Structure formats: C-alpha cells, structure tokens
Amino acid sequence: MDRNRRNWKRLLKKHQPLQLIAACDALTAKLIEQAGFPAYQVGGFALDGMRFGFPDMDVNRLGEKSSAVRDIIHACDLPVLVDCDDGYGDEKNVVHTVHTYDDLGASAIFLEDQKAPKRCGHMGGKKVVEAKEMVNKIRAACSAPIPFT
C-alpha cells in the first residue's frame, strides 16, 4: 500500500483546511479522485442512504459497512477517512473495528460518542455515552498496533 495514502498527518499539514467530499460508492470515489481532491471520506449517512435508502441509524453494523468500505477503498487510491460509528460495541470491539479498517486500507477513522442505538448526526434524539466510556474507547483505539501516521 502506498505510504502517502496512509500519511494523514502529512495530508492535514499540506491542506488547511482539508475539505473531504463523501463517497457513497466506488464510482463516487473515482469521480472525487478525477476531480482533483486530495482525499475523501466515507460517512454512514452517505453509505446507508445510497445502499439502503435510509439514514445511518444503527441498522447496519461493522460487517455491512466494512464490506461497502472495502469496495470503495479498492476503487480509489486517495487517502480516506472512514466513519466507524461508535466502534460497534465496547473497547474490544473498537480494537477489532480499528484492525478491520486498517486491513482495508483506511487512512484515518473517527468514532462517535453516541449511546446505542446511534443515529445520524443530523437526526434528533441522540444521547452520548459517559465521558469515561468514550475515553476508554479512544484509548483502546489508540492502543491497537497499526500504522496510522
């Protein structure tokens, strides 16, 4: 894998601010690359909306999401930020999620601090986990031995 694709810190230093267009499928990722953007993101709303016709509301989990993300990442050589929802469970699930997306070639990830069932960011009725729980998830994600740089 191209190290430049994985070097998110370098990308952030070079592009301030970094604007990330959302890819909902492999074709969109290719079009983002052709348009000259330096990177892109795969978010839950774009992914679930395009594939299933409903918002990101905790119906699909790691298996469905990572399958779609794999197809998108393999179609485009740009660095990609991937929405990992709430990590799909507790700390051990977060570590598994980090490894899954690392194996797929994600350049960076983000975790949400919502209580299950999580909802799209633009939807009402969201509740967040206690700060200690989120800190534990972040620590778990950071402890995973991966080359995110």
Alpha helices in 35-149 (DSSP H): 44-52, 62-75, 91-104, 131-143
Q: Is 80 exposed, middle or buried (0-12, 13-18, 19+ CB in 10 A)?
A: buried
Rounded distance between C-alpha atoms, residue 142 and residue 30, angstroms:
30
Q: Which helix (H) or strand (E) holds 16?
A: none
If DSSP codes are grouped into helix, strand and coil, which group holds residue 28? Answer: helix
Our answer to whether residue 76 is catalytic in this structure is: no
Which of 24, 76, 84, 120 is flagged as catalytic? 120
Are residues 109 and 81 in contact, defined by beta-carbon separation less than 8 angstroms?
yes
Query: Terminal CA-to-CA distance of the chain, rounded, Å?
Result: 14
Rounded distance between C-alpha atoms, residue 109 and residue 12, angstroms:
14
Are residues 102 and 119 in contact, defined by beta-carbon separation less than 8 angstroms?
no
The residues annotated with a catalytic role in the active site are 120
